[in-house]
Structures are given as structure tokens and as C-alpha cells.
A and B are shown apart, each in its own frame.
Chain A
Amino acid sequence: MTEENKLASGNLSYMATVRAIVWKDLTMEWHTGQILSVMLVFSLTAAIIYNFALYGSLAAARDASTGFLWVTILLAGTLGLNRSLMAEQENRSLEAILMAPIDRSAIYVGKVISVIIFTLAMEAILVPIFTAFFNKPFWRPQVLFILILGTIGYVAAGVLITSMTVQTRTREVLLPVLLLPLTLPVVLAAAQVTAAYVAAVPPEWSEVQFAVSLVVAYDIFMVTAGFLTYHYVVEE
């Protein structure tokens, strides 16, 4: 049986369902380029604004660059999340997905993975730009690792919250108000680790151990919470 036939007969395994949803999102993005283009243009604009804000002092801009990187990811992330989940609301495509006899949590996992892919793609472009703009080693493997860990927690919370806000009256306005405070703990911890690793002297593991475990614990909590509660969010 081909994948489509299996989907039609309801025989699709959990992983195959997740893969189908991720594939659908990637294909859509490949054709429209809506999400990545918005995130990228926004983050570049933000990077320029930061440089202007601290124009007088390059040293100050350099010191604050880790914060800038995470703020950019945080704000560009809300744009990407909004776009990705609004697309499901438009043309009522989510309703069509819900008609399929599939586990609702598979939709959550699929959505989280696809938004993580978009966010990582944006970060892949941001990292060299920030390295060049602020002359700091954002390309270090440890930095990339914590970027990935932080993104997981952020997106895991983001997909859950955005799936709710797109169904409300105020939509885009409500998302940052709900999502930014909720994800601040993981972003603050990840930013702290990032700052430690772009410093001239890389830190000892014991110095960042707590912040890294906080990020991992947050990831686990949010993925579990989203996994268990998602069908209450999409179900009518």
C-alpha cells in the first residue's frame, strides 16, 4: 500500500502520521515560502535595529548580542507560529485533518517538528549574520546545541498556545501576551548558556550545568503537556 492509501484506510502508524503532517507543512512552505521569508526579513530588520539602538557603542552591542539573538528568535518565532497555525485555520484545513482517524497528539508532534525545522532554518541564517555583525563566535558547537534545545521548548509551548489563540477573537494580539511570559524561563536559561559559550573563555560544565538542565526539564515538561492536552485544544 502507498502512504496515501494507508492514510485513507486508517492504517497509518503513529510515526507515519507525524511524518505525513511534517511533509505536508514542508511541501506547503516549499511552494509558498510564506513562513521562512517573514521570519527572515523580520529578524534581519531586528538585527539592524539593535545595531542602531546601540550605535554609539559597539562594545555595548557586542555585550548584548546574545540577548539580541534570543529576542530575535523569540519574536520571529511568534510570527512563524502564527503563520503556520493560521494556515490550518484558513480554508478550514485543520477540520479536514481532524476528519482523519488519527491520534490528535500526532498532529501536535508533527506541527512541533515542522515549526522547529523552520525556526532552525532561520537560526542557521541568523548565526553567521550575528557572528559577522557582532564579531562573536556564535558558531561554536555548544552554542548551536543550546540553540536547538531552547528552540524545542519554545516551539513545544508555542504550538500549544498558538493553536488556542488562533481560535480566539483577538488572535495575533493575544499570542505574544500568552507565549512570551510562558517561554521566558527557557529563553532566559538558554540565553545565559549562550552568553557563557560565546565569551572569550568557555565555561566549565559545572557553571552551565544548572541552566542546561533547566532547559531540558522545560522541554520535557512542555512536550509532555502539549502531547497530553492537544486534543482538547483542537477538538470541538
Chain B
Amino acid sequence: MAERIDRMNLNRIVPILNWAAGIMILISLVVIFFYAPVESTMGNVQRIFYFHVGGAWVAAVAFFVALLSGVFYLRKPAKIWDTIAVGSVEIGLVFTSMTIVSGSVWGRPAWLTWWTWSPRLTSITVMWLVYVAYFMLRGAIEDEDRRSRFAAVYVIAGFVTVIITYLSIRLLRDIHPVILGEASETAQGLQEFSGIDSGKMVISLNVSVLTFTVLYLTWLANRLRLQRLLDDAAELKTRVMTRLQQQ
């Protein structure tokens, strides 16, 4: 499988994906702002929901892909897995940041505060920190093989924070409604789909999630192509150097 991804003609795929993502973003903007109905209690501000959930969803997918690439790399070291993991963590971080910022902007009118240390907000901040640290680990190791190996181990261990962020709150709600005072009550508005009261909202949400997924694939393909160009450039450089030394 690693070889098949390696042989992929990215120069053909990347432009197609770029266009597809661009068009889908336009479509989902139209859907979010014109097709989706105005939410009854929160009004237009609720439209952040589609960006917020879309971003969070793709961040989870990206980190999961990074986890899988880590596992594949450890099973059979191929550079492509490392590149996919790096690209996915980079993109996942962008989407996590987007989720946090959009949630904060939404929190201001909804809870009258930009930030509160509810379990959900705490755990996503921890997750963000864990994946930022991923790049510090990589930066501290010079040997390429060891860097990829350690990064793979770390990305597997780090996934625990994704699980906690995405599942724990739901369990918390089920098992333990007593703890849900003010803070956790507000967290529900963030994470639950209870705000959805019409079929049009469901369709709009699906469109935005699909758009963000395509955007993720587009960025990842661009990232793989970029890495390939970097590798080619490095190889050319060494070839030029040897040629010059021979003369």
C-alpha cells in the first residue's frame, strides 16, 4: 500500500482536489448562510455551528489518520507513512485551532463568556498542546529514522487525548448528570446536536462536514506533493555536489 501511495500521480490529483475543495467551500457557504434556517433561540449566531462541528470532525479524522500512519510506520518503516502522519497532525492542529476559536466566538453570545474551564474546553486544549508538542519532539531529533520512529510512537500515545475529548463528555452526561452544574450544562450546547430542529440543518451540517473532509484530503495531497518536491530537491542537490566534486 505504501508503494501505491508513493507512485500516485500527485501532479494530476492535486489540481483536481484544489478545484473540488474550492467549489465545495463556495457551495457550503451558500448552504450555511442562505439554505440553513435561522435557529429559533440563538438566531444567526448559531451558523457558527456548521464551521465548528465541521472543523472538530476533520481534526478527529486527521489525528486518527496520523495514528494509523504511526502504526503502519512501526510495522513496516516507509517514509510515506511518516509524511502522512506529519501532514495529518499539521492539518489536524489547524482544524483544532479553528474549532477552539469558533467555539470561543460562539461562546461569547451563548454563555456570555469567551472561555470557561468546562471538561470539554479543557480536554480540547490539552489535545491541542499534545499535538503541538509533537513538532517539538521531531525538532529535537536529528537522525531521520529515529525521528520518524519516535514520532510514530508519540502519535499513538497522544491519541488518548482525542478519545477523551470526543467521548468522555458524552459518557459524563449519561453516567453522571449530578455533576452537571452550570459549566457542563453550557458544554452541551457546544457538543450536542440537540440544537438541530429541522431537516435542513442536518443537510447543512452534512454539507459542511463533507466540505471540510475534502479540504483535509486536498491539503494532505498538497503536503505529500510538497514533501516529494523537497526530497527531489535534496537529491538533486547531492547530485550536483558530487558532479562538482568530480570535476
Contact with A along B170-194 (1 / 0, CB 8 A): 0110011011000000000000000
A232→B154 CA distance, assembly (Å): 11
Q: Which of B130, B149, B158, B160 contacts A218 (CB 8 A)?
A: B160
Is the pair B164, A185 in contact by a Cβ cutoff of 8 Å?
yes
Closest to B142 in A: A169
Is the pair A182, B141 in contact by a Cβ cutoff of 8 Å?
no
A160 proximity list for chain B (CB < 8 A): 153, 157
A182 proximity list for chain B (CB < 8 A): 130, 133, 157-158, 160-161
A214 in the interface, Cβ–Cβ < 8 Å? yes
A209→B179 CA distance, assembly (Å): 11
Known contacts: A168-B137, A174-B137. The answer to whether A233 contacts B164 by CB under 8 A is: no
B156 in the interface, Cβ–Cβ < 8 Å? yes
How many interface residues does A have (CB within 8 Å)?
Answer: 30
A161→B153 CA distance, assembly (Å): 9
Is the pair A221, B160 in contact by a Cβ cutoff of 8 Å?
yes
A164→B123 CA distance, assembly (Å): 24
Is the pair B157, A157 in contact by a Cβ cutoff of 8 Å?
yes
Is the pair A185, B153 in contact by a Cβ cutoff of 8 Å?
no
B74, B141, B157, B171, most chain A CB atoms within 10 A: B157
Total A-B pairs, Cβ < 8 A:
88
Is the pair B74, A232 in contact by a Cβ cutoff of 8 Å?
yes
Q: Which of A145-171 contact B (CB under 8 A)?
A: 157, 160-161, 164-165, 167-170
A202 in the interface, Cβ–Cβ < 8 Å? no
Known contacts: A167-B146, A174-B136. The answer to whether A206 contacts B157 by CB under 8 A is: no
B172 proximity list for chain A (CB < 8 A): 210
How far does the Cβ of A195 sit from chain B's closest Cβ, in whole Å?
Answer: 12
Is the pair B137, A178 in contact by a Cβ cutoff of 8 Å?
yes
How far does the Cβ of B160 sit from chain A's closest Cβ, in whole Å?
Answer: 5
A1→B151 CA distance, assembly (Å): 42
Q: Which of A217-236 contact B (CB under 8 A)?
A: 218, 221-222, 225-226, 229, 232-233
Instruction: Sample 7 A-B pairs with CB under 8 A, ordered by A number.
Output: A160-B153, A161-B157, A168-B141, A169-B141, A182-B160, A185-B123, A207-B179
Give B contacts to A, CB under 8 Å: 74, 122-123, 126, 129-130, 133, 136-137, 140-142, 146, 149-150, 152-154, 156-158, 160-161, 163-164, 168, 171-172, 175-176, 178-179
Please give me the 10 A-B residue pairs with the lowest Cβ-Cβ distance, nearest first. Answer: A181-B129, A168-B140, A229-B153, A170-B140, A181-B130, A184-B126, A164-B150, A210-B176, A178-B133, A225-B157
Give A contacts to B, CB under 8 Å: 157, 160-161, 164-165, 167-170, 174, 177-178, 181-182, 184-185, 188, 206-207, 209-210, 214, 218, 221-222, 225-226, 229, 232-233
